[in-house]
Structure formats: structure tokens, C-alpha cells
């Protein structure tokens, strides 16, 4: 996976809570990425099996807003994201972002 600074921010946003599905606007704000950059990136991550996506249930939404599409890292996606960030030199946790402990870092073997 070719990691750019933008992709790095998106992966970090996912890794803050990899079990939590996130919708596009949430990811845009967390990663400070514009929609025209984020959605093509999410499409590539979907195609590569790094993330999965699911539409919000068809039940009526508050305020009549359209249903959201939620994205989540796959198990393999979590592993690949951590490795890619370590190789890119951006595996440090940004200020204010806590990552859960997934065991030893794949790059260093250290937790």
C-alpha cells in the first residue's frame, strides 16, 4: 500500500477505534481531508479489502437526512494499516488520539 500523508491521516482515524464503523463526514473531520479526496481513497481501500462498508438501515432517519454509509477496517486492514504507517514513519500516535493496544507493533515488535 502506497502511503501518502493524506492516507496516513485517514488510517490513523480508523485506528483510533478500529471496531467502530465511521461514516464519511466523521472521517473527513477526523483526518482533515476533503470529500473529493476521501471518497476515492475509500473506494480504493474497499477494492483492496482494507475496509468494508455498509449502508445505514433503511428506517427513517432523524430530520430526513439521507442514510449514511459506514466504513470499518477489516481485521487484515488493521494489520496492513499498522504496517503501512510504521513503514511510512507515521506510526506515532498524534496528540489527543489514543489507539487501543493491539499487541506488539509489526514494525518493531514493541507494544
- Residue 31 and residue 38 in contact, taking contact as beta carbons nearer than 8 Å: yes
Between the two ends of the chain, the Cα-to-Cα distance in Å is 23
pLDDT at 7 over 90: yes
Residues 32, 35, 38, 43, Cα dihedral to 10°:
160
In the structure, what pLDDT confidence band is assigned to residue 60 with cuts at 50, 70 and 90? low
Secondary-structure class of domain 5-88 per CATH? mainly alpha
| Residue pLDDT, tens place only, 82-107 | 999 998 876 555 445 554 444 454 45
Q: What pLDDT is attached to residue 73?
A: 97
Residues 19, 22, 26, 27, Cα dihedral to 10°:
80
Amino acid at each position: 500500500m502506497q502511503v501518502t500523508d493524506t492516507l496516513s491521516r485517514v488510517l490513523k482515524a480508523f485506528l483510533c477505534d478500529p471496531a467502530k464503523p465511521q461514516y464519511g463526514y466523521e472521517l473527513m473531520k477526523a483526518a482533515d481531508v476533503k470529500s473529493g479526496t476521501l471518497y476515492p481513497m475509500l473506494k480504493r481501500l474497499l477494492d483492496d479489502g482494507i475496509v468494508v462498508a455498509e449502508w445505514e438501515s433503511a428506517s427513517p432517519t432523524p430530520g430526513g437526512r439521507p442514510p449514511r454509509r459506514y466504513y470499518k477496517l477489516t481485521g487484515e486492514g488493521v494489520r496492513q494499516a499498522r504496517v503501512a504507517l510504521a513503514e511510512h514513519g507515521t506510526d506515532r500516535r498524534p496528540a489527543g488520539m489514543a489507539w487501543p493496544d493491539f499487541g506488539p507493533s509489526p514494525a518493531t515488535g514493541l507494544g
